[in-house]
A and B are shown apart, each in its own frame.
Chain A
Amino acid sequence: MASEGRAETLALREQFDTEEQQKDASTLGMWIFLITEIMFFGGLFLVYIVYRSANAGVFAVASSSLKVYVGAANTVVLLCSSLTMVLAVRGAQLGERKTIVLFLILTLILGGVFLGVKAYEWNEKFQEHHVPGAAFHFEGLPPELQGRAQLFFSLYFAMTGLHAMHMVIGVGILSVLIWQARKGTYSAAYMTPVDVSGLYWHFVDIIWIFLFPLLYLIDRHLGK
Chain B
Amino acid sequence: MVKTPEYRDLFPGALEMMILQTLSRRPLHGYALAQHIKSISDDLLQIEEGSLYPALQRMLKSGWLKSEMGVSARNRPVRVYKVTPAGRKRLEEERSSFEKMFAGINRVLAMG
A binds B: no
